[in-house]
Structure 1
């Protein structure tokens, strides 16, 4: 399973109405944090009712918790856009 698929599967726990998982690693090739895997820099665009009543920090924590330490440990940069 690709890392993108793992991210999508993990975030299903938040019951998103909309979810985009975008690999931006190619834009950061040769920069700090580029481990050569092609899976180091990610952007998540998500809309989920489960996040609506949370503060911005709590939303980000919920996403990190859903992803878990195994996935988070494999990502150098994660941009989160909550709709």
Structure 2
């Protein structure tokens, strides 16, 4: 299963987001550290969910990282845009 699909499944299960966009930005990093031929090395996630209400920025990031679990060490970069 592609990493973006795994990410989507885990984030939907953990947060029931009202908005979720996952972008594989790997091609824009060709020639840079961590780039892998075929992509799946650099991702951006835009997520909005009621469950993030009352959480600070660091807590939101930790929650997303926890939900993604073993995916995080398999990628080089993860940009997060998290809100309610």
Deviations 1:14-44 (A, max 9, x none): 1111100000000001101113241000000
- SS of the residue 1:43 aligns to: strand
Which residue number in structure 2 is paired with residue 11 of structure 1? Answer: 11
Correspondence 1:13-52 to 2 at 5 A: 13-52=14-53
Which residue number in structure 2 is paired with residue 63 of structure 1? Answer: 64
Unmatched tracts of structure 2, length 5 or more:
none
Deviations 1:41-61 (A, max 9, x none): 000000001012100000000
Cα-Cα RMSD: 0.9
Measured in 1, the distance between the counterparts of 2:72 and 2:38 equals 15
Count the aligned residue pairs: 82
Measured in 2, the distance between the counterparts of 1:60 and 1:78 equals 10
Measured in 2, the distance between the counterparts of 1:25 and 1:7 equals 15
Q: Which segments of structure 1 move beyond 4 Å, counting only runs of 4 or more?
A: none
Measured in 1, the distance between the counterparts of 2:44 and 2:80 equals 6
